[in-house]
Amino acid sequence: MQHRTGAELRELFIRFWQEKGSHHYPSFSLIPDDPSLLFTIAGMVPFKPYYLGIRQPEHPQAVTSQKCVRTNDIENVGRTARHHTFFEMLGNFAWGEYFKKEAIAWAWEFLTEWVGMEPDKFYATIYTDDEEARESWVREAGLPEERILRFGQDNNYWFMGETGPCGPCSELYYDRGASYGCSSPACGPGCDCDRYMEIWNLVFTQFDRQKDGSLTPLPRKNIDTGMGLERLTSIVQGVDTDYETDLFRPLIDHTCRRAGITYGSDAKTDMPVRVIADHIRSVAFMLADGVLPANDGPGYVLRRLLRRAVRYGRLLGFEGPFLCEYLPILIDIMKDPYRELCEQRLTIEQIIGVEEERFQRTLQQGTELFEAETANLARTKTAVFPGEAAFILYDTYGFPMELTLEMAAEQGLTVDQEGFRKAMEEQRERARASSKQKKSSLAGDVYTELESEQGPTRFSGYTTCTDTGQVKALLTADGPVQRVEALDGPVELEVILDVTPFYAERGGEVGDQGELHSGTDTAVMEVTNTVPHGGLIVHKVLLQKGAVSLGDRVQAIVNDGRRCAIRRNHTATHLLHEALGRVLGGHVRQAGSLVTDQFLRFDFTHHEAMTPEQLRGTERLVNQRILANQPLSIRECDREEAREMGAKALFDEKYGSTVRVVSIPDFSTELCGGLHVSATGEIGCFKILREESIGSGTRRILAVTGLNTLKLLQRSYDLMFQVAGILATDEENLPTRAQELLDELHRVKRQAQETALREFTKNVESLFTHKDVDGVTLQTGRFSGLEPDALREIGDRAKAKASPTVVVMADVTEDNCRLVVMADDAAVERGAKAGDLVRAAASLMGGKGGGRANTAQGGGGDVARLDDAIAAIETLLASQVNQG
Ligand code: SER
């Protein structure tokens, strides 16, 4: 077999299928346009609507090398030769164009003739009685009957998920020889060992699995195949595992060089080496596709992988950040065809840097909490790490559960996972109760059916605010109906027209509001929101009076004033995006946005708070463009052409290759489907309200335009005059006057404290309990409502009453406990460290603390755990003075 690189095999596959008439699509995003999946898990995912018949394929057959992420088997990653979280799936797809016979014949031709694999080393598996597949393997591939094996649904049926396209499949296995085998007499294709390697899965996608598990036949017979590029490469390159192919090897080598180890010499270090190589691929590709670290959804998976890689780096002795070192190596391997890695390099680097540094910090703090908890467990002789503490580690310190499990196992402890789940569930409940739930749509899968019956809604709203449309569907809470009438007050329903000027919420822009009127029954409907469902535009309406029936012609009138405000904010968002890039640097990238009629919200990647000068500079740049009153140019073009124009593209990958490009001449060019002003002057004036952090490396700006800016100014002036009136001064002198008053207040407060303190400290000994800890007097006092200075003063006096001594003071209010710990010099000499004592105690109360050996402070909100915290101080102090 001729030696080929991974990149050459990828190209060879694409060329082969192009010769068979398939259209080549570059890999789609890792984030699918499909709410049922977190990630693209297979090559067929981006084509799901073609399988379901909701959209007509642009081309009847296609070929891709698709970036995929699967995390269901994450514990196996690194342990085995070929489990990965990120991999590339080589796939060919056909919708009603060719079926089993051709798929089988061509797969065979590719592997045996193009790649040059030995025909007599192949086995095929088929679904129980799939005679058509069996015959094709015999006739088209010449495979002898004894090398065709039958399996049931577990092995030979492929499902995309709980619902969605599925069908029987046939898999090709390649026998790598007895030396790879497990020598079990039952060893054969399907065995878990490395001898019979499954390389290609051919799925004959014929059904759509419903929520109830039933299988509905699809409109046509389809083909979906998937072959792991990494596996194929390992066979062609004759190496034992995927990690030794040229797709991974430079990453592996870097780790080994850095750690001073040799790959393959010790299973204990090989695993971390593989984990890092695997996870850096997922992390970099997710970031390149716009995923940002978060506490749920895809962002959490990203965070978890990144943290797992950091932790495994530590096991190899890596200190400080190291992950970014892999980027140039990865880019070198993958830049062709994955240009996004180069284009997003700065952003990827920056986010990895911030996340890694943040985790290194919390790794330290969390480890301290972990140790304080385990000290407590040792004291009470318990072998189960509490679920609640595991949850705090997860929630506050970002420890993935598996990390806590691993650390607990190292100490011979198990983790109360049930308790962890309970704590997590309780927190979810709290979150659910506090955030108003999004109102679910009135009818579930009905939309998919409606769209396949009548096609997508035509949107006419780019150029007009009013239009006439025909009612194609009426949906109430009970599903589709023929007619709705308002008898006793307004009725809630959803209306779908054949054509509408109403913009459906998308790309961060809210949906239009307005009215629908029908002539026939004089129905008046208030449109409260407009939302998309696939290609349908759904008006959420309140039928105020009259009746509406299917087929009625209605006048659709968008609330024009509101829409103008939305347009102003949307164009201002583009101006802001570009201005931020110019003021802060090229790493700024959009991380999300919300465009409403009241304000605009823009989230972007940047690692620190903006300075007042940067904020003012950004506002100035945007307002200069507004004053220049530049006309916008909006046109549709080819995706590739848009890319060449340098259009900023967001990560909502769409089907088809035509995109809409919105340009503000000489300033900004973005792909965007939203509504815009015709010239920038219409925006009026732009003002930033707030700039804040919303998580690691991501900032948020809230801003207003148009009349909302005027409202803001009016309100600010009113407030300023009002405050000036109260403080009996004029606006110019406001800051000085406010400062004077505050200083005076502090002075008075301090005097009051001093008087109280004098009373308090007359008999300091009575304020404390005393205990002997291996020759050190531990004095513990509880107070309420004292400032840290006052506590320290009391502490100083207590310190003078004994030696060696450690003084612990807890000031408890309803929801907070402040801790001050002081140790005299004799105690410090014995080994006491106030900083460590406070840190351990505070973390037990869900807080933080620290300081020097002789004085330190901290605190936490979990006041109920104060006794435990004090007990932990005692235990820790005993171990400090015994070591000292
Ligand atoms: N969808 C199938 C798989 O993932 C074939 O591409 O195995």
Q: Which two tokens stand for residue 645?
A: 């124009």
Angle at 525 between CA 524 and CA 527, to 5 degrees: 150
Ligand 1 pocket check for 91: Cβ under 6 Å? yes
pLDDT value, residue 757: 80
- Using alpha carbons, list the distances in angstroms from residue 738 to 199, 389, 543, 746: 74, 44, 54, 12
Q: Which atom of ligand 1 is nearest to the CA of 44?
A: 1
Q: Which atom of ligand 1 is nearest to the CA of 43?
A: 6
Compute the distance from residue 127 Cα to the ligand 1 centre, in Å: 15
Angle at 147 between CA 141 and CA 150, to 5 degrees: 105
Compute the distance from residue 687 Cα to the ligand 1 centre, in Å: 50
Running DSSP on this structure, what letter comes out for residue 684?
-
Compute the distance from residue 226 Cα to the ligand 1 centre, in Å: 5
740: part of which helix (H) or strand (E)? Answer: helix 734-760
pLDDT band for position 395 (cuts 50, 70, 90): confident
pLDDT value, residue 754: 82
pLDDT value, residue 750: 86
Q: What is the second-level CATH architecture of the domain 444-558?
A: Beta Barrel (2.40)
Compute the distance from residue 207 Cα to the ligand 1 centre, in Å: 14
Q: Where are the domains of the chain?
A: 6-180+187-247, 253-429, 444-558, 563-714, 727-759, 761-883
Q: Which atom of ligand 1 is nearest to the CA of 41?
A: 4
- Report the DSSP pairing between strands 384-385 and 414-415: parallel
Compute the distance from residue 44 Cα to the ligand 1 centre, in Å: 7
Distance CA 85, CA 78 (A): 10
Q: Which atom of ligand 1 is nearest to the CA of 89?
A: 6
Compute the distance from residue 247 Cα to the ligand 1 centre, in Å: 21
Q: What percent of the chain has pLDDT over 90?
A: 67
Q: Which two tokens stand for residue 545?
A: 């009076």
Class of domain 6-180+187-247: alpha beta
Compute the distance from residue 125 Cα to the ligand 1 centre, in Å: 15
Angle at 655 between CA 654 and CA 660, to 5 degrees: 60
69: part of which helix (H) or strand (E)? Answer: strand 61-69
Distance CA 618, CA 582 (A): 8
Ligand 1 pocket check for 224: Cβ under 6 Å? yes
- Report the DSSP pairing between strands 805-813 and 776-783: parallel
Flag the least confident range among 43-47, 514-518, 655-659: 655-659
Contact 357, 321 (CB under 8 A): yes
Compute the distance from residue 69 Cα to the ligand 1 centre, in Å: 13
pLDDT value, residue 431: 60
pLDDT value, residue 698: 85
Which residue spans within 178-325 are E strands per DSSP?
196-209, 215-228
**In testing the pocket of ligand 1, which one of 34, 68, 89 has its CB within 8 Å of the most ligand atoms?**
89
Those residues with Cβ within 8 angstroms of residue 533's Cβ, 6 or more apart along the chain or in another chain = 441, 447, 451
Residue 285 has pLDDT above 50, yes or no: yes
The protein residue with its alpha carbon nearest to ligand 1, atom 3, reads: 226
Ligand 1 pocket check for 571: Cβ under 6 Å? no
| Of the ranges 17-26, 288-297, 410-419, 688-697, the best mean pLDDT one | 17-26
pLDDT band for position 341 (cuts 50, 70, 90): very high
Those residues with Cβ within 8 angstroms of residue 577's Cβ, 6 or more apart along the chain or in another chain = 588, 590, 602, 604, 648, 668, 670
Of 255, 203, 258, 230, which is closest to residue 85 (Cα–Cα)? Answer: 230
Residue the block writes with tokens 């402890």: 413
What are phi and psi for residue 502, nearest 5 degrees? -75, 130
> How many CB atoms within 10 Å of residue 507?
13
Distance CA 691, CA 703 (A): 9
Ligand 1 pocket check for 41: Cβ under 6 Å? no
Cα-atom radius of gyration of the chain, to the nearest Å?
A: 33
Q: What is the dihedral of CA 339, 344, 348, 351, to 10 degrees?
A: -160
Residue 165 β-bridge partners: 208
Q: Which atom of ligand 1 is nearest to the CA of 226?
A: 6
**In testing the pocket of ligand 1, which one of 67, 156, 158 has its CB within 8 Å of the most ligand atoms?**
158
Ligand 1 pocket check for 169: Cβ under 6 Å? no
Compute the distance from residue 282 Cα to the ligand 1 centre, in Å: 19
Compute the distance from residue 126 Cα to the ligand 1 centre, in Å: 15
Distance CA 712, CA 577 (A): 22
Q: pLDDT tens-digit profile of 226-284?
A: 999 999 999 999 999 999 999 999 999 999 999 999 999 998 899 999 999 999 999 99
Compute the distance from residue 12 Cα to the ligand 1 centre, in Å: 19
Distance CA 642, CA 659 (A): 8
Ligand 1 pocket check for 165: Cβ under 6 Å? no
Q: Which amino acid is at 666?
A: D
Ligand 1 pocket check for 42: Cβ under 6 Å? yes
Residue 534 has pLDDT above 90, yes or no: no
Q: Which atom of ligand 1 is nearest to the CA of 203?
A: 5
Contact 698, 605 (CB under 8 A): yes
Residue 35 has pLDDT above 70, yes or no: yes
Ligand 1 pocket check for 225: Cβ under 6 Å? yes
pLDDT value, residue 128: 93
What average pLDDT does range 367-379 have in this prediction?
Answer: 88
Burial class (CB in 10 A: 0-12, 13-18, 19+), 383: exposed
Question: C-alpha 598: how far from its chain's center?
Answer: 27
Residue 646 has pLDDT above 70, yes or no: yes
Q: Which atom of ligand 1 is nearest to the CA of 160?
A: 1
pLDDT value, residue 600: 96
Distance CA 93, CA 116 (A): 23
Compute the distance from residue 46 Cα to the ligand 1 centre, in Å: 12
Question: Is 563-714 in CATH node 3.30.1600.10?
Answer: no
Residue 444 has pLDDT above 60, yes or no: no
pLDDT value, residue 442: 39
Distance CA 618, CA 820 (A): 44
Compute the distance from residue 621 Cα to the ligand 1 centre, in Å: 50
Contact 148, 135 (CB under 8 A): no
pLDDT value, residue 871: 94
Q: pLDDT tens-digit profile of 76-106?
A: 788 888 899 999 999 999 999 999 999 999 9
Compute the distance from residue 202 Cα to the ligand 1 centre, in Å: 7
Compute the distance from residue 169 Cα to the ligand 1 centre, in Å: 9
> How many CB atoms within 10 Å of residue 568?
29
Q: Which atom of ligand 1 is nearest to the CA of 227?
A: 6
Contact 471, 480 (CB under 8 A): no
Compute the distance from residue 94 Cα to the ligand 1 centre, in Å: 13
Ligand 1 pocket check for 43: Cβ under 6 Å? yes
Question: C-alpha 359: how far from its chain's center?
Answer: 16
What are phi and psi for residue 68, nearest 5 degrees? -130, 150
Q: pLDDT tens-digit profile of 843-882?
A: 999 999 999 999 999 999 999 999 999 999 999 999 999 8
Choose the CATH number for 761-883 among 3.10.310.40, 3.30.470.10, 3.40.718.10, 3.40.50.2300: 3.10.310.40
What average pLDDT does range 518-526 have in this prediction?
Answer: 84
**In testing the pocket of ligand 1, which one of 70, 203, 205, 229 has its CB within 8 Å of the most ligand atoms?**
203
Ligand 1 pocket check for 226: Cβ under 6 Å? yes
Distance CA 514, CA 401 (A): 49
Q: Which two tokens stand for residue 691?
A: 């700039």
Distance CA 453, CA 464 (A): 27
The protein residue with its alpha carbon nearest to ligand 1, atom 1, reads: 42
Helix locations, 289-400, DSSP H: 297-315, 326-334, 340-343, 345-380, 387-395
Q: What is the DSSP string of 752-818?
A: HHHHHHHHHGGGGGGGEEEEEETTEEEEEEEESS--HHHHHHHHHHHHTTSSSEEEEEEEEETTEEE
Ligand 1 pocket check for 227: Cβ under 6 Å? no
Q: pLDDT tens-digit profile of 535-569?
A: 899 999 999 999 999 999 999 999 999 999 999 99
Q: Which atom of ligand 1 is nearest to the CA of 42?
A: 4
Compute the distance from residue 166 Cα to the ligand 1 centre, in Å: 10
- Report the DSSP pairing between strands 524-533 and 514-518: antiparallel
Distance CA 728, CA 734 (A): 9
Residue the block writes with tokens 């549709």: 636
Ligand 1 pocket check for 201: Cβ under 6 Å? yes
Ligand 1 pocket check for 158: Cβ under 6 Å? yes
pLDDT value, residue 434: 46
Compute the distance from residue 201 Cα to the ligand 1 centre, in Å: 6
Compute the distance from residue 678 Cα to the ligand 1 centre, in Å: 46
Flag the least confident range among 163-172, 512-521, 599-608: 512-521
Helix locations, 36-180, DSSP H: 48-52, 100-108, 131-141, 153-156
In the chain, count of helices (H) and strands (E)? 25, 35
pLDDT value, residue 365: 79
Q: Which residue has the higher pLDDT, 407 or 839?
A: 839
Distance CA 818, CA 785 (A): 10
What rounded mean pLDDT belongs to the chain?
90
- Using alpha carbons, list the distances in angstroms from residue 99 to 113, 136, 177, 201: 21, 11, 32, 14
Compute the distance from residue 177 Cα to the ligand 1 centre, in Å: 26
The protein residue with its alpha carbon nearest to ligand 1, atom 6, reads: 226
The protein residue with its alpha carbon nearest to ligand 1, atom 4, reads: 42
pTM score: 0.64
**In testing the pocket of ligand 1, which one of 13, 39, 47, 225 has its CB within 8 Å of the most ligand atoms?**
225
Helices 345-380 and 866-883: crossing angle in degrees, nearest 10, is: 90
Compute the distance from residue 228 Cα to the ligand 1 centre, in Å: 9
Compute the distance from residue 160 Cα to the ligand 1 centre, in Å: 8
Ligand 1 pocket check for 164: Cβ under 6 Å? no
Ligand 1 pocket check for 401: Cβ under 6 Å? no
Distance CA 157, CA 165 (A): 11
Residue 700 has pLDDT above 50, yes or no: yes
